[in-house]
Amino acid sequence: MNGTSQRAAPKDKLVARMPHSKKLPGLELMSFLKNMIRREFPTFFLAMSGVLLAWVCSLDAAETNIQRKPNVLFIAVDDLNGWVGHLKGHPNVNTPNIDRLAERGISFTRAYCSAPLCNPSRISLLTGIAPSKSGVYGNGEKLRDNLPNAVTLMQHFRASGYSARGAGKIFHGRSAYDEGSWDGYFMPANSGKPRRIKRDSSLPKSAWVPWGPLACSDDEMFDGKVANWIISELEKPQKKPFFLAYGLTKPHLTWEVPQKYFDLHPVDGIELPVVREGDLNDVPPFGQKLAREVYDPSGERDFATPGGDHQNVIDNSQWHKAVQAYLATISFADAQIGRVLDALDQSEHAENTIIVLWGDHGWHLGEKEHWRKHALWDVSTRTPLVISVPEGGSKGQLCHRPVSLIDLYPTLIDLCGLPERDGLDGQSLNPLLKNPNQQWHRPVVMTYGFNNHAIQTERWRYIRYANGDEELYDHSKDQNEWTNLARDPKYAAEIKRLSAHLPRTNS
């Protein structure tokens, strides 16, 4: 969508007389009749005061219960790996606002996407339908082409009496607005790119350097504009409980943010990710192909460049600067999240709002000789997930159980007391919000492309590609996934057990 758009659901005359009746017909009709009896039949009302008083009180209680349903602030962060402070993902990270949110709720240290790519990950999360069932594997597929009858998370909230509004990147792409999902949506107009500091003239044109500081303010950035709109929404009184979605585009490439965020991470103090030389030697050919992909200027994927992006970064001595730029972009995103959290805390909604912060997938910066996402390893698929519940949830704890982003749909249904829905592939995380240390035996399934899957349990990561190639990593001894055990016969029984969790349907 280009420009600013705020779309409101149509209102007919009945809705004008009895607000929200389209969403909650029983409750609103009773409320309407209650007020009519009081106004039109005062004598009858007094005569029947005892019975009617009890009935009216029950209606008032029901209305109060609806009004007290928790709001939801839904924060989506693009391409954020585990580099946040409270997860100790990188020694140079600076994320005070995400970290303070984690102190208010549960942070899942092993939260995984359904797919390590924006569009399939987001559609899976927002519909509750796994990629292997929807057939949404890439960024080119459209939600309603593949899933014309899917009820999105926001649609279900709207049908349950909520107002659903959002801004920024929730679905993938500016044109991915889903009409039925929102009561209103804001997307900033393209108003020219902030001025970038001049590229290093000593670098050859072939150098891959999509990063650098900008000479601008936060408010000139897309995510800053969207944060301002979200803040304005939080400052308003609300007639309904609300589902408010804030979608950031950072730290997605390009890593271009105001200079002050680069200053937080001086390049001479940057530590590089821990890597192992020759890490791909025991990875099957298809996995090596994914690791060495690059994108040419047209956006087309190229698997033929020797060494891929990783070799380009090393050859041009850009590794430290790239890590600095990614960290700076994370800090910029964290600052915008902090502004939104401050606005919520200062609003009348502070005590009755569930906050969910999630990233759509991970990101490599040289681990396994790979850059970007687009792979089924831990770094590609793991991302922060924080859930803060005003009442009833644990506070300031880490949950180390493997969970999936596809679990968010049933979790929010559970937390907000919405009607249950059939056909969701996730499972409510509410038990872990109450007790993050309890047993959790459900494996996480991740998919990248047709019939390429990874299975994550407490101990194991098993990957099987469509051609039958396999990888197996023991996370109890090898969290970096340096040693592929799939060819060792003594793990055949473990592979067979893990294979039972692979999707049976591949659309």
Of the three residues 33, 67, 101, the one that is the final residue of a domain is 67
pLDDT tens per residue across span 390-412: 987 779 999 999 999 999 999 99
Last residue of a domain, one of 41, 67, 93: 67
- Determine the pLDDT at residue 10: 36
Shared domain for 111 and 145, answered yes or no, is yes
Beta-sheet strand order (sheet of 453-456): 444-447, 453-456, 460-464, 470-474
In-domain check, residue 10: no
- Count: domains in the chain: 2
Same domain, 189 and 293: yes
Which CATH number covers residue 145?
3.40.720.10
pLDDT < 50 stretches in the chain: 1-32, 43-66, 297-299, 304
Verify that 62 and 135 share a domain, yes or no.
no
306 lies in the same domain as 401: yes
Count other Cβ atoms within 10 Å, centred on residue 309: 22
Looking at the structure, tell me whether residues 52 and 153 fall in a common domain: no
Would residue 294 count as lying in a domain? yes
Residue 12 belongs to a domain: no
Global confidence as pTM = 0.85
From the candidates 118, 265, 364, 370, give the one annotated as an active-site residue: 118
Same domain for 62 and 82: no
Look at residue 392 in the predicted model and tell me its pLDDT. Answer: 73
Looking at the fold, whether 342 and 308 belong to one and the same domain comes out as yes
31-48 pLDDT per residue, tens: 445 555 555 555 444 444
Q: Do both 128 and 158 map to the same domain?
A: yes
* Residue 37: domain span: 25-67
pLDDT reported for residue 200: 84
Whether residues 47 and 133 fall in one domain:
no
Selecting among 156, 172, 265, 364, the annotated active-site residue is: 172
Strand partners, 404: 112
Q: Which of residues 37, 67, 97 is at a domain's end?
A: 67
* Contacts within 8 Å (CB) and 24+ apart, 91-96: 91/271, 92/265, 92/269, 92/270, 92/271, 92/323, 92/327, 93/327, 93/330, 94/264, 94/265, 94/327, 94/330, 94/331, 94/334, 95/330, 95/331, 95/334, 96/334, 96/338
| Secondary structure (3-state) at 382 | strand
Residue 1 within a domain:
no
User: Residue 89: helix, strand or coil by DSSP?
Assistant: coil
Return the pLDDT at 394: 79
Q: Are residues 59 and 181 in the same domain?
A: no
Instruction: Please confirm, yes or no, whether 118 is among the known catalytic residues.
Output: yes
Residues 131, 41 share a domain: no
Q: Are residues 118 and 225 in the same domain?
A: yes
Q: Given 3-state DSSP classes, what are the helix, strand and coil percentages for the chain, each rounded to the nearest 5? A: 40, 15, 45
Residue 295, pLDDT score: 56
Residue 9 placed within a domain: no
**Could you tell me the two tokens for 186?**
């804001």
pLDDT of 499 = 97
Is residue 113 flagged as an active site residue? no
